[in-house]
Amino acid sequence: MQTRAPAFLVAIAIAASAQADDVGILALRARLGAAAPTGANVSVGHVEAQESVGNFGPNRSLAEFAGKAFTDMSGSSGSSGHATFVGQNMYGSVTSIAPGIPRVWVYEAASFAQGASLNTGSGLGPLNPPGGTSPVRIFNHSWIGSFGSAALDNEVLRRADFAMNRDDTLFVCGENNGAGSAMQPLMSVSYNGIAVGLVSGGHSAGDVPAGNDGSGRMKPELVAPGQFTSFSTPVVSAAAALMYETAATAPYSTNANRRKGVTVKSALLCGAAHAAAWQNGAPATGPSRGITSRPLDPVFGAGTVNVDRAHRIITATESLGSGTAASAASGVAQPLVGWDHETYGVGTQRHYRINVPSACDASFLVTWNRVPSTAWTSPTAPPAMNLRLELRKVIGGTVTSITGGAGIGVFAGGNVVSTSAVDNIEHLYVRGLQPGSYVLTVAREDSLVTTAGATVAWLVDAAAPSGDLDGNGTVDGADLGLLLGAWGTPGPGDLDGNGTVNGADLGLLLGSWT
């Protein structure tokens, strides 16, 4: 196809950068110190609309960009103020939460959609991410637009979803500015990427419009601080860079599932901070209490990106789900923070027992990719699979529903079932979850013949009981074994901190027996 400019293609806003709010970076650095990730060894793609003819790249002479390696993918560019502010928030050495990002691949947006990356209209497949041994992991899109044709826009998005699924990359895409503004198709309405709004709520939000694949899906998925979505979007890109770096660093790098784009996305969304007003429409009373088909908040998505919480998830050891709820209920409890990547065929279910030691709020989320066809002369989009996410309580050894009246006294608010028929995300956010043993279930509900991978993640904000030496949320025989095995030494099991594991520590452990 001849190079075709979109009908409109604009930078989302041009204004001074603002990233004063903490998105968990202070807590992350306080917890890890010098070991905190910085985005080192993670290459990023910076995709920009032209601010003026020929000007779409950042000002490379800016002190914040000293030492960064830039590669032009759409030809040379003059300096764009918009691109410069975006770059500061994504990889600037002072402004960004990921100052260690070393390499930036610069694209003009229409070029990216066509011959420089996605190859829309060419009959050829999307190009592999550039970068050699350190390929681009994240493509930041702080622009909105359309080719003026639903067919072309959908082809761009199908190619984008295919590329993300194939390459384990993430496209992080800004929403339109202005509460109530029209949602534009490029690039925020993809399945596999992350659409970003503002913590203020001043962005387009709601359902993917008719005419786009998967209309009715909820957008955005995350919000972040910034004066405009142009500048909140690269904050999320930088957060993703911290997760990709962590997943590629020993000892975490031994698990290939941790490095998948869908796992990074799941950790970021599950770890998001939920404001007091956050809600996803679950009834607070009646027989449908705790059930929703709308997994996200209609304005704030999963919440505000929080890199400390996401990092806690992605560094957890991958769990192994049980095939039935009964086997999970009688099996080993999972840690209070965890994740698992599984392939789901027709009828597949995965179940995870989680023991909650004290009343708390808890976040559970599963997300999966759609996998468009490789018929590049006319790429099609088969439906994405449909998963259900549910939390139930183990009562007397039986896994019991806590929806409706059964959940009164078990959780104070939120939802324990997420069952959207159109979204490729299901999310539970449970407020005031009471102590007890629970089973989290992911179940495939469609009858499509295709299989697809999904990553479930959870973060239970409960303090582990004293004596929980293996961190699984309970104090039991396994913890007793660890304590006795360290008897007379400094630990593990030195619960009173006197430097020796002895009878006093044994008393503390037995006093916390679950």
Lookup: tokens for 466: 């004293």
Beta bridge partners of 355: 437
- Strands 417-418 vs 387-395: parallel, antiparallel or unpaired: antiparallel
Same domain, 14 and 103: yes
311 inside domain: no
Same domain, 265 and 350: no
The rounded distance, in Å, linking the Cα atoms of 278 and 300 is 7
- Scanning the structure block, which residue is given the tokens 């930078």? 11
481 inside domain: yes
Q: What is the pLDDT of residue 16?
A: 43
CATH number for the domain spanning 337: value is 2.60.120.380
3-state secondary structure of 82: helix
Same domain, 410 and 474: no
- Scanning the structure block, which residue is given the tokens 């800016």? 62
Which one of 270, 296, 326 terminates a domain? 270
CATH number for the domain spanning 162: value is 3.40.50.200
The H or E element containing residue 356 is strand 349-356
Q: What is the pLDDT of residue 383?
A: 83
Structural domain of 211: 8-270
How many other C-beta atoms lie within 10 A of the C-beta of residue 180? 11
Consecutive 10-residue averages of pLDDT for the chain (514 residues): 53 50 91 96 97 95 97 96 97 97 98 97 94 93 95 95 96 97 96 97 97 96 96 98 98 97 98 96 97 98 97 97 97 96 96 96 97 85 91 96 97 98 98 96 93 96 72 75 86 70 85 76
Looking at residue 258, the DSSP 8-state letter turns out to be G
Q: What is the pLDDT of residue 491?
A: 67
506 inside domain: yes
Identify whether the C-beta of residue 205 lies closer than 8 Å to the C-beta of residue 225.
no
b/e map 441-461, b = 16+ CB within 10 Å: bbbbeeeeeeebbbbbbbbbe
How many other C-beta atoms lie within 10 A of the C-beta of residue 134? 14
330 inside domain: yes
Same domain, 115 and 30: yes
Looking at residue 274, the DSSP 8-state letter turns out to be P
State residue 247 phi and psi, 5-degree precision: -65, -25
At 264, which amino acid appears?
V
3-state secondary structure of 490: coil
Angle subtended by helix axes 503-511 and 477-485, to nearest 10: 170
Q: Is residue 147 packed enough to be buried (19+ CB in 10 Å), middle (13-18) or exposed (0-12)?
A: buried
Same domain, 391 and 475: no
CATH number for the domain spanning 505: value is 1.10.1330.10
Identify whether the C-beta of residue 228 lies closer than 8 Å to the C-beta of residue 13.
yes
- Scanning the structure block, which residue is given the tokens 């008897």? 487
Which one of 270, 301, 327 terminates a domain? 270
Same domain, 487 and 456: no
Number of domains in the chain: 3
Same domain, 24 and 133: yes
Q: What is the pLDDT of residue 20?
A: 43
287 inside domain: no
Q: What is the pLDDT of residue 262?
A: 98
Which one of 444, 460, 476 terminates a domain? 460
Q: What is the pLDDT of residue 380?
A: 81
Helices then strands, each counted (H, E), the chain: 10, 24
3-state secondary structure of 218: strand
3-state secondary structure of 454: strand
The rounded distance, in Å, linking the Cα atoms of 455 and 450 is 17
Q: What is the pLDDT of residue 464?
A: 61
Q: What is the pLDDT of residue 10?
A: 67
What secondary structure, in 3-state letters, does 100-154 show? CCCEEEEEEHHHHHCCCCCCCCCCCCCCCCCCCCCCEEEEEECEEEECCCHHHHH
Same domain, 426 and 491: no
Q: Which of 203, 117, 215, 129 is nearest to 420 (CA)?
A: 215
Lookup: tokens for 422: 């159109």
261 inside domain: yes
Do you find a cis peptide bond into 37, omega within 30 degrees of 0?
no
354 inside domain: yes
The rounded distance, in Å, linking the Cα atoms of 31 and 385 is 38
What secondary structure, in 3-state letters, does 358-406 show? CCEEEEEEEEECCCCCCCCCCCCCCCCCCEEEEEEEEECCEEECCCHHH
Q: What is the pLDDT of residue 496?
A: 65
Same domain, 444 and 475: no
294 inside domain: no
Q: Which of 173, 238, 235 is nearest to 208 (CA)?
A: 173
Same domain, 24 and 119: yes
Q: What is the pLDDT of residue 6?
A: 62
The rounded distance, in Å, linking the Cα atoms of 385 and 372 is 12
